[in-house]
Amino acid sequence: MSPTLLRIFPYFTLTVAVLLHGINLLNSLPPDYLVFGHLLFVLGMITYALQRKNLTTWILVSIVMGVIVGRDYPGIALSLQPLSQGFIRLVKTIVGPILFATLVYGIAGHSDLKQVGRMAWKSLLYFYTATTIALFIGLAAINISQAGVGIDASKIPHHDLPATSSLKEADQRALESIPEENHWIFKTTSFFRDVFPENIIKSIYDNQVLQIVVFAVIFGIGLAQLPERKKRPMVDFVDSLAETMFKYTHIIMYFAPIGVGAAMAYTVGHMGIDILKYLFMLLLTLYCALIAFLLLVLLPIALYMKVPIKQFIQAIKEPVSIAFATTSSDAALPVVMQNMEKFGVPRKIVSFVVPTGYSFNLDGTTLYLSLASIFVAQAAGMDLSFGQQLLICLTLMITSKGVAAIPRASLIILIATADQFGLPVFIIAAILGIDELMDMGRTSVNVIGNCLASVVIAKWEGEFDQQAALNFEEE
């Protein structure tokens, strides 16, 4: 087939499929006609993906293929579930090592923050304020839209649902001897007891995220207090481990089209085509929440700090486009640092604030995680109290740090959080189908937030070059 025909073929198959569905609306066609149109469309999409040779394209194509297989061949679709489960297993193997390595390196590797002084605490104060607001916006958005409410929970496999009580048997027995009005005290103290690891290897095996975080933080603080000669080998080790896990993630993401396609096929085959409207509602909720965060939080900050908005948009346009297309903040990092320096932020501030922000200032990711975790609970029919939702958000605030450089890294944290709080992983498998589309938006907001953070800290330090910012378009 000639190159011209190869380029035209995908559009031809799309046209045929649309025409068949249009005719079917006017005059019902035999089911085989629509199935033929779908198979032809799948062939066209595969041809298109082969031409693009791009992982993002393959993931998007696999989503549509999964919907078609789930609709037309539900028996085959249900048989594909092990492929999506295998992909989730691979993702789970990342959680322990990557949390440990990034947190330890973030503490011990940057122990020179004491010399940076004011810039360090100002940056961290700004980061945690921004991400906390993002968490609550995500929480508010999903509670307003109720995107997960209405999914037929009876069709969710019961073995994937959590037990009715999250308390251990020993704790249940202990509660019997405690007055009922004091139960909340015991439950609160038992929560704090359970965040401390008994055995770090067991914590990693059981995916106990908070226990891994506590161990990593204490380990990192202890490491930071060692003399440089003794500290350096371990810091280099955890840095190397983190980089290795990043590469590991990139490798297993090549399996993502298969895992995502199988997840979407199983979801549609098992729960029907109606599940798509809930996933679309989730996607719409996320983008509305991200836009609200930009307009209600980042824009007022920029205006208050007298940042020239038009020039700032010009400066972030290229890195945000890269982040949106690649779903990786890391890919946009060189352009971010270059453009922010041209925009008037001194190099010493850019080189500190932006890399630190990549670990601690994940506005889009934290917003998504709070939103998606409550969606999972809603879809499973779990009625979480505000306190429970708040506890999930506080956990996410800690565990979401350090993995912004990886495409779809938030999936890792979401699965870990689901395990921690007994949320059904099956629903996350359904979210896999649109995770690529959501990752584009949240990664872009991460980049915008870090660009603005560098400007804010430079302004706060009195070292921002306002004239360079005003002249940015001329460069």
pLDDT at 171: 73
211 and 338 together in one domain? yes
Please give the Cα distance from 24 to 30 (Å, whole number): 9
- C-alpha triplet 51, 57, 61: angle, nearest 5°: 100
26 and 161 together in one domain? no
50 and 193 together in one domain? no
By CB neighbour count within 10 A (0-12 exposed, 13-18 middle, 19+ buried), where does 247 fall?
exposed
Q: What is the pLDDT of residues 408-458, one digit of tens each?
A: 567 777 877 777 787 877 777 778 767 777 888 888 899 999 999 999 998
pLDDT at 164: 34
pLDDT at 330: 63
pLDDT at 117: 60
Q: What is the pLDDT of residues 202-216, one digit of tens each?
A: 888 776 767 887 888
Please give the Cα distance from 463 to 349 (Å, whole number): 9
Domain boundary among 30, 51, 79: 79
112 and 41 together in one domain? no
Task: Give the length of the chain.
Answer: 475
In the 3-class helix/strand/coil scheme, how is 132-173 assigned residue by residue? Answer: HHHHHHHHHHHHHHCCCCCCCHHHCCHHHCCCCCCCCHHHHH
- Measured in whole angstroms, how far is the alpha carbon of residue 264 from the centre of its chain? 18
307 and 374 together in one domain? yes
60 and 90 together in one domain? no
Query: Angle between the 55-72 and 31-52 helix axes, to the nearest 10 degrees?
Result: 170
Residue 90 has which token pair? 């691979």
Please give the Cα distance from 319 to 335 (Å, whole number): 6
53 and 145 together in one domain? no
Q: Which residue positions in the chain have pLDDT lower than 70?
A: 1-2, 106, 109-117, 152-168, 187, 207, 209, 271, 325-328, 330-331, 359, 399-409, 433, 473-475
Could you give the residue ranges of the DSSP H alpha helices within 29-182? 31-52, 55-72, 74-79, 81-108, 113-116, 118-145, 169-176
33 and 133 together in one domain? no
Output the CA–CA distances (angstroms, integers) from residue 154 to 20, 84, 150, 151, in the order listed. Answer: 34, 21, 11, 9
* Placement of tokens 């993995």 in the chain: 403
- Measured in whole angstroms, how far is the alpha carbon of residue 246 from the centre of its chain? 15
100 and 175 together in one domain? yes
90 and 181 together in one domain? yes
pLDDT at 163: 41
259 and 361 together in one domain? yes
Type of residue at 152: D
